[in-house]
Chains A and B, each alone.
Chain A
């Protein structure tokens, strides 16, 4: 099984719908991240969490919310999806600041019509 699992892997939805992307990890890491990838723009940080009680906004948090249900679970929600939220979303984990290495899930491809 993958260390970082994202569900769903693909989702097509309509404008105005609420969408939740889920991430679970078996690495035992405290730090979890949600990134968004758009063609030609690289990865941009949406939200990050350093532990269960710590949630922080990233570069592009507007229109998104998150929930850290447990050390292993970090969910991203789009309360009312819009077409420009069509993108590939990645969850990632890391052990600590000094180690630094991120471990990524396989991504959730979201299409908003």
Chain B
């Protein structure tokens, strides 16, 4: 069964707006990762945040982790049409990355 669950399932925004996706999980983790998947392609790692970290940045990406609430968020600032993709969180507790169902993001030009 999936450990992480993303919310919303689908998100549609205009270019230039910010996109926020959330991930909730059930058991303790060592780290949480976010991946991106363009339609039908392999997943690409975006960012990893460890359980002792609260926030991390990478370019236009900002990830937060709240272990007390067992949740994480991925913020993409100033979105571009090229950001259109599915985004997955993966939790790593007992050695194995476990993926959620993903958020489908559409950025309209």
Contact = CB atoms under 8 A, between A and B. Distances in A.
Interface stretch (A66-74, A75-83, A101-109): A101-109
B45 interface: yes
Determine the interface band of chain B, counting residues with CB < 8 A from chain A.
20 to 34
B96 A102 contact: no
Contacts of B96: 33, 45, 48, 58
Interface residues of A, number: 26
Given A100-B31, A100-B48, A101-B48, A90 B42 contact: yes
B94 to A, nearest CB: 10
Interface string B24-59: 000000110101000011111100100000000000
A88 interface: yes
A92 to B, nearest CB: 8
Contacts of A104: 42-44
29 contacts: A4-B42, A33-B97, A40-B101, A42-B2, A42-B88, A42-B100, A42-B101, A42-B102, A43-B43, A43-B88, A45-B96, A45-B98, A48-B96, A58-B96, A59-B1, A90-B42, A90-B43, A94-B97, A97-B95, A100-B31, A102-B43, A102-B45, A102-B90, A104-B43, A104-B44, A106-B42, A107-B41, A107-B42, A109-B40
